Amino acid sequence: MGAAKASRDIAGMGRGAMLRLENVGMRFGAGPEVLRDVTFMLEAGSFTFLTGPSGSGKTTLLRLMYLAEPPTRGLITLFGCDLATTKRSKFPALRRRIGVVFQDFRLLDHLSAFDNVALPLRLAGKRLDHYGHDVEELLDWVGLGTKLDAKPPTLSGGEQQRIAIARAVVARPDLLLADEPTGNVDPDIAQRLVRLFEELNRLGTTVLIATHDRSLLELTQAREMRLVDGRLVEMRMPRT
Amino acid sequence: MSAQRPERIMPRWEGAAPLDVVIGVMGFLAALALCASLVAERTAAGWRAGLADGFTVQILPHEGDGSALQSETTSVLAALRGTEGLSRVKVVSDAEAAALIAPWLGEGTALADLPLPRLVDASIAPGATIDLARLAQRLKQAAPDSQLDDHGLWLARLKRTADTVIWSAWAVLALIALATAATVTFATRAGLAAHKDVVSLLHQMGAHAGFIAHAFERHYFVSALIASATGAALAAGVFAAANGLEGAGIEPVPFLPPLGLGAFELAWIITVPAVAGLIALATARLSVLAALARNY
């Protein structure tokens, strides 16, 4: 399927846009465009995989989606707000509605696993006696119930990744963006994590997972958007 | 539950330790300047009070005519004693006059050989108001060679000197405040660079700039408060030591007025760490907000 057709099809899907990109392009400095004419929409409550080979622009696209930087061109509409015209002072509130699993985890080394996971709740102004139990339960669910006080540098890559995922989902965000969330865990844990994402999705969170691990796509019925050389080139609709 | 109290989001930055030393020294210097201004103010006030409630009349001598000097002195005394509002009128004796000029001419000077004016010292009763210009006129009529000195010239010079000391101290305080703010700005920027990952993550997770700034300002406020309080306490110690020496009859610094501070004046030193803490807090906050404003 051609890129333009794929973009039109995806953009035309469903109603209730959580996120919409229209003709988005991105380049760094005077370099070539790493994203070109990207157009798609994430429906509220959808579950989507973003696939593509390394270097295809998945992480850059995610960065635009979680407001790490503005696109060079094109329009992004998030939660109904056109980012080009939305005041910067509104961005923190938009960002708090997004849970992000970063490819490099970005855990705070001086905080325990518990405090790392609790961070979004603290930023939302919640108190320890309100969130403590939820955080413990979530860490238990991802298999780290015995390592609440462990600092990230003392944990394995897989354990750190699970903390990063727990942190992204703990506040039940409206939109979850995960960049290679199962890259460092064994298949059993990967399945468990995908189930966690599905559970969150059932509760109403829109989920987008960027991955180059195609085996993940077999674990759940989700549509696929594929990026190659900065263009959305094909899509797969969820099986019915 | 994992912890009774959530850990600090912003880790303590060990690289900020030199800042504590700088602010401690600033606090010490600021407290010294503040105390100097207080000593100057108190000394000037004491001198003003001592001089402003009296005046001196001098009767100039006629060469070779001692009887005229005596006659004019009598007239001046009569005029002064007839003036309401004076509590004391006294002719300065030869011995007192000799004591006054002894520092310049030496002990044992024969006053009789010198054409010295006769001095009459007068004190104004507390609360009384006297029109000194009119009194000078009346004295001139009674004794043409008399001159009334209300110490105005001396008082004006004294005031200028005290004002200079006080304003200099305030200028020093302003410079110290500026230097403190600049130092904290520099340290905050360094702190932001050191915690770039933490700040970036918090920003990305939707923390308001104010939330991030609060994590920084609290650190710099507490550091500046403790460091400047230590510096100010050292300065208070210096003045307390001077007070102790003066109490023991030892003049720690010749020619300077008494350096000992009273309890009320020492209490002013508390303002040094308070102001330093507030300067650090405001500076850190503004620096962080300015840096975050450049982010997307």
Nearest CA in chain B to A139: B2
At residue A45, the 3 state secondary structure works out as: coil
Q: Which of B215, B234, B217 is nearest to B273 (CA)?
A: B234
Give the pLDDT confidence of A32-52 residue by residue, as tens digits. Answer: 999 999 999 999 999 999 999
Which two structure tokens, joined as six digits, stand for B116? 């010295």
**Alpha carbons B142 and B57: distance in angstroms, whole number:** 12
On whether the CB atoms of residues B13 and B195 are closer than 8 A, the answer is: yes
Q: What is the ipTM of this complex?
A: 0.86
What pLDDT does A218 receive?
83
Residues of chain B in contact with residue A120, where contact means CB-CB under 8 angstroms, are 205-206
Q: Which of B178, B224, B204, B242 is nearest to B21 (CA)?
A: B224
pLDDT at A6 over 60: no
* Cross-chain residue pair A133–B1, CB shorter than 8 Å: yes
Q: Which residues of chain B have pLDDT under 70?
A: 1-6, 13-15, 63-66, 108-112, 251-257
Backbone torsions φ then ψ of A234, nearest 5 degrees? -160, 170
Residue B62 per-residue DSSP state: B
**Alpha carbons B119 and B97: distance in angstroms, whole number:** 8
A–B interface: beta-carbon pairs under 8 A: 72
**Alpha carbons B222 and B214: distance in angstroms, whole number:** 12
Q: What is the dihedral of CA B119, B125, B131, B137, to 10 degrees?
A: -30
At residue B215, the 3 state secondary structure works out as: helix
Nearest CA in chain B to A110: B11
**Range among A108-122, A202-216, B48-62 with highest mean pLDDT value:** A108-122
What pLDDT does A97 receive?
95
pLDDT at A3 over 50: no
On whether the CB atoms of residues B203 and B266 are closer than 8 A, the answer is: no
Query: In terms of DSSP H, where are the helices of chain A?
Result: 3-11, 58-65, 91-95, 113-123, 128-141, 157-169, 187-202
Best residue of B196, B204, B292 to probe chain A, by most A CBs closer than 10 Å: B204
Residues of chain A in contact with residue B2, where contact means CB-CB under 8 angstroms, are 112-115, 132, 135-136, 148-149
Of the pLDDT bands very low, low, confident and very high (cuts 50, 70, 90), residue A1 is: very low
What pLDDT does B253 receive?
65
pLDDT at A5 over 50: no
> Does the global pTM surpass 0.90?
no
B5 touches A: beta carbon within 8 Å: yes
**Alpha carbons A170 and A207: distance in angstroms, whole number:** 14
Which range among A36-50, A56-70, A225-239 shows the weakest confidence by mean pLDDT? A225-239
Which residues on adjacent β-strands are paired with residue B149? B56
Q: Determine the length of chain A.
A: 240
**Alpha carbons A234 and A224: distance in angstroms, whole number:** 8
The set of residues, in sequence order, having a beta carbon less than 8 Å from that of B215 and lying 6+ positions away, is B8, B9, B10, B202
Give the pLDDT confidence of B22-33 residue by residue, as tens digits. Answer: 889 999 999 988
Q: Which residue has the tokens 């962080």?
A: B288
Q: Determine the length of chain B.
A: 296
Q: Which residue has the tokens 């004591």?
A: B99
Which two structure tokens, joined as six digits, stand for B161? 């000197």
Backbone torsions φ then ψ of B121, nearest 5 degrees? -100, 130
What pLDDT does B100 receive?
78
